[in-house]
Amino acid sequence: MQHKSVMPREALEALALAPGHKAIDATSGLGGHSRLLAEAVGEAGLVCACDTDAESLELAKSNCSAFAGRMRFVHTRFSELPQKLQDILPADALLADFGTSMMHFTSGERGFSLMNDGPLDMRLDRSSDGPTAADLVNRLTERELADLIFITGERRSRQIARALVRGRPVNTMRRFAELVESVSPRTGKLHPATLSALSLRVATNREYEEIEALIRSLPILVRPGGRVALITFHSGEDGLAKALTRQLAKEGKAVLINKHVWTPSAEETRANPASRSAKMRVLEMKQPLGKQGETDHGYSGMDI
Ligand SMILES: C[S@@+](CC[C@H](N)C(=O)[O-])C[C@H]1O[C@@H](n2cnc3c(N)ncnc32)[C@H](O)[C@@H]1O
């Protein structure tokens, strides 16, 4: 399964890159968007392709080899960006395409996939000494586990937590999925453990704390007048992006460029069903002087 970069045309339009610009791809993944950014900044520009997953970054490096001279690959998480990139800051633009890539699901080895069994790891950064998903499931109290499962709004979080605690040790994705399914039977097409697995991934990688750190540090990362595009995939991510970008606007640190969130075209969702839930929010970091207003670009969108 190959990862197809989401909303590539819209990302390029949002970031308004020009030759010579410095751009940060905060979530390089397999390098799909990074390659497009590298083309847009030309030979005189620079793209910092960043990812917390060293294995993805190696693939990005090889996928972007044609642009090696204008790229820097940085193993970092969002909260470390101001420190890791300090010699190039502020950049002209930043892209963040949150979540995981298809690469994480192609085998069971990383512990993300409900379709392929494997150790319940789920760490995006396997070099970190942070807890694995199995550590959380096996060590938290039932109450803490119920709160964790509820992160994504899973309505049966309490019953699921009870089943997981009774079924310990839980060291594989298959065991996790079976225990969730024992109290949450299949109804539609979605696997009954989908939301619980997402909650566990979000908690294992402290994804919400990381998104918050990224958005709060945008005034350091991107120059006034520079553009930021944030792509989210589920309501937890998007709610956070919405609240925090509004806060930046209220503080006079950024202007929200799109009146509606941008969503993928019907053509893109047909070709890449995984893009279906994507929403893009675009900001322009605030100029110290001058007047900016909201613009609407004509893509399909929904109220924000
Ligand atoms: C949707 S994928 C990006 C795909 C990429 N845009 C492409 O076109 O190939 C999201 C990436 O963000 C990375 N990521 C998630 N949380 C992160 C964090 N806190 N810091 C840095 N990278 C993170 C994941 O490892 C994953 O590779």
Flag whether 119 is in a domain. no
More confident residue, 186 or 24: 24
Residue 114 resides in a domain:
no
What is the CATH classification number for the domain harbouring 146?
1.10.150.170
**pLDDT value for 187:** 84
Same-domain check for residues 214 and 177: no
pLDDT at res. 288: 52
Is 215 in the same domain as 288?
A: yes
pLDDT at res. 76: 98
**Which atom of ligand 1 lies at the shortest distance from residue 95's CA?**
6
Q: Which of 47, 58, 95, 101 to mutate to test the pocket of ligand 1 (most atoms within 8 A of CB)?
A: 101
Distance CA 35, CA 59 (A): 12
Does any domain span residue 273?
yes
Q: Last residue of a domain, which of 184, 204, 224?
A: 204
Ligand 1, residue 210: give the atom nearest the CA: 19
Q: Which residue has the tokens 């390659």?
A: 35
Tokens of 156: 């049966």
Can you spell out the DSSP letters for 26-90?
A: TT-TTSHHHHHHHHHH-TT-EEEEEES-HHHHHHHHHHTGGGGGGEEEEE--GGGHHHHTTTTPS
Nearest CA residue ID for atom 3, ligand 1: 29
112 located within any domain: no
Q: Are residues 85 and 213 in the same domain?
A: yes
Is 111 domain-assigned?
Answer: no
Indicate if 215 and 90 belong to the same structural domain.
yes
Measured between alpha carbons, how far is 10 from 7 in angstroms, rounded to an integer? 5
Residue bearing the bigger pLDDT, 187 or 152:
152
Claim to verify: residue 253 and residue 295 sit in the same structural domain: yes
Q: What is the pLDDT of residues 191-219, one digit of tens each?
A: 999 999 999 999 999 999 999 999 999 99
Q: Which atom of ligand 1 sits closest to the CA of residue 5?
A: 8
Domain count for the chain: 2
Whether residue 248 contacts residue 287, with contact meaning beta carbons closer than 8 Å, is answered with: no
Q: Does a structural domain hold residue 171?
A: yes
Write out residues with Cβ below 6 Å of ligand 1: 3, 5, 27, 29-33, 50-53, 56, 77-78, 97, 99-101, 124, 210
pLDDT at 106: 85
Judge if 57 and 183 occupy the same domain: no
DSSP the chain: -PPPPSSHHHHHHHHT--TT-EEEETT-TTSHHHHHHHHHH-TT-EEEEEES-HHHHHHHHHHTGGGGGGEEEEE--GGGHHHHTTTTPSEEEEEEE-S--GGGGSSSTTS--SSS--BS---S-TTS-SPPHHHHHHHS-HHHHHHHHGGGT-TTHHHHHHHHHHT----BHHHHHHHHHHHS---SSS-TTHHHHHHHHHHHTTHHHHHHHHHHTHHHHEEEEEEEEEEE-SHHHHHHHHHHHHHHHHTTSEEE-BSEEE---HHHHHH-GGGTT-EEEEEEEPPSSS----B---S-EEE-
Residue 265 and residue 296 in one domain: yes
Residues 163 and 227 both lie in one domain: no
Task: Identify whether residues 74 and 134 lie together within a single domain.
Answer: no
pLDDT higher than threshold 50 for residue 178: yes
pLDDT value at residue 2 = 77
CA distance 133 to 111: 8
Asked, for residue 37, whether it belongs to a domain, the answer is yes
Q: What is the residue range of 219's domain?
A: 8-102+208-303
Question: Percent of the chain scored above 70 by pLDDT?
Answer: 94
Atom of ligand 1 nearest to the CA of 214: 19
**Residue 232 or 186, more confident:** 232
- CATH number of the domain that residue 78 is part of: 3.40.50.150
Q: What is the pLDDT of residues 233-265, one digit of tens each?
A: 999 999 999 999 999 999 999 999 988 899 999
**Residue 162 and residue 18 share a domain:** no
